[in-house]
Chains A and B, each alone.
Chain A
Amino acid sequence: MNRYLFNRIIQSILVLLGVMCLVFFLLRIVGDPVQMWFSGRTREIDPETIAEFRRSMGFDLPLPVQFINFMRKAIVGDFGNSFRYKLPASMMIIERIPATLKLTSISLLVALIVSIPLGVMAAVKSGGIIDDIARTLALISQATPTYWLGLVLISIFAVKLRWLPSSGSENWKHYILPVACLALSSMGGLIRLTRSSVLEVLQEDYVRTAVSKGLRKNVIYYRHILVNAALPLVTVIGMSLGGLLGGALYIETIFAWPGMGRLVSDAVGLRDFPIIQGVAFLTCLIVVCVNLLTDVIYTFIDPRIRYGD
């Protein structure tokens, strides 16, 4: 195996460890989870109940011991029981993963199908009508808040026109609005990146060489330009998944989508920390894995990394 991939795997493990430390220490040092859990109550709660809760959750032990316990369990995916539902947090989260993954991957696919051809065409005919359209769309996409777009789409298509449902995830009709929101919000970055990386490659000397060899236009575009322009794109596709999972937090809340995003936004309101910790960790795990995967793909396309040390 080559050094580059090896380093990336080590780095990914560090990311995950970093997230676990962050989640743990933030909660235990900055605040007291037990206090926060009870703080929102209107009714006075007797100290005995609080102490009992603290003991049952293991929050009475010294901090280093708590940390070791937390890490030992977290490594096997155990984040303790949900404060609210008294069920294992990891179980509740895993149940929700498929819904979120379906939503985000479909959205990513839609975004890619629209933005890559558009970005390429915009770059090739730089300054033309398609370029203007692409740039305007990118600007709108980057300037429209996902959470607001969701509300707008609901009030138009679900309330005014009554064409599409505003919540749930039963059939394909339920997918249209949330997917449209998420796809549109990640399109801007993808269009801009495709456009600029194709423009950059167009300026490269090796493209001039390809032209001077008398190759056909299609050959130049597919074999010389697109392959090279795809290199930065591959990494960004991995990264935009992180953004999509973030956007899912809003979209799932707005459209009552039974995924991780809604679970966490409910948990945030309830200060249900095992759930928040679990989702934070699992989302990072997904993002890290996808990024690793894109790195593997990258090494397949780019010989400089494949044979480099």
Chain B
Amino acid sequence: MEPLLTVKDLSVSFNTTDGTVYAVNNISFDLYPGETLALVGESGCGKSVTTMSLLGLIPKISGNNMSGTAVFNDGVSKKDLLKMSEEGIRKVRGGQIGFVFQDPLNSLNPVMTIGQQIAEPLMEHLKIDKNEAERRTIELLERVHIPDAADRIRIYPHELSGGMRQRVMIAIAISCSPKILIADEPTTALDVTIQAQIVDLIENLSKELNLSVIWITHDLSVVAGLADRVLVMYAGTGIEIAQVDELYDYPSHPYTRGLLGALPNPDMESSKRLISIPGSPPDIYTAPYSCVFASRCKFAFDLCHKELPKLVELGNNHQAACFIAEQLRSEYV
């Protein structure tokens, strides 16, 4: 099967008053139709920047640099999202790729009704009139399980609960039947009980609409239930990518192992304590010239401090960027 989206060697850097920040370094991944890919990493590791750069949401001002390719296959033609014109990428946004953000409280315009906000992309991308857009808006609200949709279109975001607002955001994102849905920590700002509902909603929608989902999260426990594949990021670099079961069973990068160790496990004996990774992520004011995790890694040796490890294929479409990945992988067998 051909991938829907092929990202290759994506790098993004920003010029700030404190120096150049290398936010994303040589990230590569594929996204296949209908699959859910999880981008996992600590906050500040470049997950959001990666997806925002795909949609041209990184301001194009001097000092901001972007390189690499992101080829999007819409079934008719292939085009590189990073090299598209402003007008071209605008049609992809909302039309082909929908976006759900972290904080539903601030992600909706406070002075517009939710009906107007959902209808906007419909009228823009599908060129339909106001009445038709309103009809579809009600449909969409029903689709994301908002009761009394016909009445709710005239209310303002502040009149809705956090979970309801996130449903509105999802309705906006899927309004024009996009191919890809990017969900940037969509449940972080919500109550635990609501979180599960939103996760279910997005999972069901992706099945119903054959959506590919890029799910950004810092929470590996969320990933287990919903993702098909996982890309683990650390300090702006992709360090391990694999099918979700493969990754959980055979984590082959010390950082992934650390993340899994830091996860509470219901089967765990109460005497065992949660393991945390010592140290904190490095400043990203220099482009990586050695393993980004070396300073916190208990396996690190000389080479790790001198050379940048590349992603190596471990079989089963499992790749990890570590000099001893194969050894670590073989420990499980």
A-to-B contact residues, CB < 8 Å: 204-206, 208-216, 219, 223-224, 227-228, 231, 301-304, 307
B93 touches A214 (CB 8 A): yes
Q: A209-B109, A214-B94 are in contact. List 12 more A-B contacts (CB 8 A).
A: A206-B110, A208-B101, A212-B98, A212-B101, A213-B120, A214-B124, A219-B120, A223-B112, A224-B109, A303-B156, A307-B156, A307-B159
A214 touches B169 (CB 8 A): no
**Alpha-carbon separation in the docked complex, A228 to B169 (Å):** 19
Report chain A residues within 8 Å CB of B103. 205
User: Does B108 make an interface contact (CB < 8 A)?
Assistant: yes
Name the residue among A208, A214, A231, A302 with the largest chain B CB count within 10 angstroms.
Answer: A214
B175 — nearest CB in chain A belongs to which residue?
A213
A205 touches B107 (CB 8 A): yes
User: Does B172 make an interface contact (CB < 8 A)?
Assistant: yes
Known A-B contacts A208-B57, A213-B124, A307-B156; A302 and B111 likewise in contact (beta carbons under 8 Å) = yes
**Alpha-carbon separation in the docked complex, A231 to B109 (Å):** 13
Report chain A residues within 8 Å CB of B298. none
**Alpha-carbon separation in the docked complex, A216 to B124 (Å):** 8
Minimum C-beta distance from A205 to chain B (A):
4
User: Does B121 make an interface contact (CB < 8 A)?
Assistant: yes
B-to-A contact residues, CB < 8 Å: 55, 57, 90-95, 98-99, 101, 103, 106-112, 120-121, 124-125, 156, 158-159, 169, 172
Known A-B contacts A205-B103, A209-B101, A304-B156; A228 and B109 likewise in contact (beta carbons under 8 Å) = yes
**Alpha-carbon separation in the docked complex, A141 to B112 (Å):** 36
A303 touches B110 (CB 8 A): yes
Report chain B residues within 8 Å CB of A307. 156, 159
A306 — nearest CB in chain B belongs to which residue?
B156
B121 touches A213 (CB 8 A): yes
Minimum C-beta distance from B133 to chain A (A):
13
Report chain B residues within 8 Å CB of A212. 55, 57, 93-94, 98-99, 101
Partner pick for B94 among A205, A215, A231, A302, CB 8 A cutoff: A215
Report chain A residues within 8 Å CB of B92. 214
Minimum C-beta distance from A247 to chain B (A):
33
**Alpha-carbon separation in the docked complex, A99 to B103 (Å):** 52
Report chain B residues within 8 Å CB of A227. 111
A205 touches B101 (CB 8 A): yes
Partner pick for A209 among B107, B111, B125, B159, CB 8 A cutoff: B107
**Alpha-carbon separation in the docked complex, A157 to B121 (Å):** 55
A210 — nearest CB in chain B belongs to which residue?
B109
Known A-B contacts A205-B106, A206-B106, A206-B107; A213 and B172 likewise in contact (beta carbons under 8 Å) = yes
A303 — nearest CB in chain B belongs to which residue?
B156
B125 touches A214 (CB 8 A): yes
Closest A-B pairs by Cβ, 4 of them: A214-B94, A214-B93, A212-B99, A205-B106
A204 touches B106 (CB 8 A): yes
26 A-B pairs, CB-CB below 8 angstroms?
A205-B106, A205-B107, A206-B106, A208-B57, A209-B107, A209-B108, A210-B109, A211-B93, A212-B57, A212-B93, A212-B94, A212-B99, A212-B101, A213-B93, A213-B120, A213-B124, A214-B95, A215-B124, A216-B90, A216-B124, A228-B109, A231-B111, A302-B110, A303-B110, A303-B111, A304-B110
Minimum C-beta distance from A117 to chain B (A):
21
Known A-B contacts A213-B93, A215-B121, A304-B156; A208 and B107 likewise in contact (beta carbons under 8 Å) = yes
Minimum C-beta distance from B61 to chain A (A):
8
Minimum C-beta distance from A121 to chain B (A):
16
**Alpha-carbon separation in the docked complex, A152 to B107 (Å):** 50
**Alpha-carbon separation in the docked complex, A209 to B182 (Å):** 12
Report chain A residues within 8 Å CB of B101. 205, 208-209, 212
Report chain B residues within 8 Å CB of A231. 111
**Alpha-carbon separation in the docked complex, A212 to B92 (Å):** 9
Minimum C-beta distance from A67 to chain B (A):
46
Partner pick for B90 among A204, A205, A214, A303, CB 8 A cutoff: A214
Known A-B contacts A208-B107, A304-B110; A214 and B172 likewise in contact (beta carbons under 8 Å) = no
Name the residue among B108, B110, B111 with the largest chain A CB count within 10 angstroms.
Answer: B111
**Alpha-carbon separation in the docked complex, A50 to B120 (Å):** 76
A228 touches B110 (CB 8 A): yes
**Alpha-carbon separation in the docked complex, A205 to B165 (Å):** 13
A209 touches B172 (CB 8 A): yes
Partner pick for A214 among B106, B121, B156, CB 8 A cutoff: B121
Report chain A residues within 8 Å CB of B55. 212
Minimum C-beta distance from A276 to chain B (A):
43
**Alpha-carbon separation in the docked complex, A204 to B110 (Å):** 11
**Alpha-carbon separation in the docked complex, A206 to B95 (Å):** 18
B106 touches A213 (CB 8 A): no
B121 — nearest CB in chain A belongs to which residue?
A213
Report chain B residues within 8 Å CB of A302. 110-111
Report chain A residues within 8 Å CB of B111. 227-228, 231, 301-303
Report chain A residues within 8 Å CB of B156. 303-304, 307
Report chain B residues within 8 Å CB of A204. 106
Minimum C-beta distance from A302 to chain B (A):
6
A303 touches B57 (CB 8 A): no
**Alpha-carbon separation in the docked complex, A205 to B120 (Å):** 17
Report chain B residues within 8 Å CB of A213. 93-94, 120-121, 124, 172
Known A-B contacts A214-B91, A304-B158; A209 and B99 likewise in contact (beta carbons under 8 Å) = yes
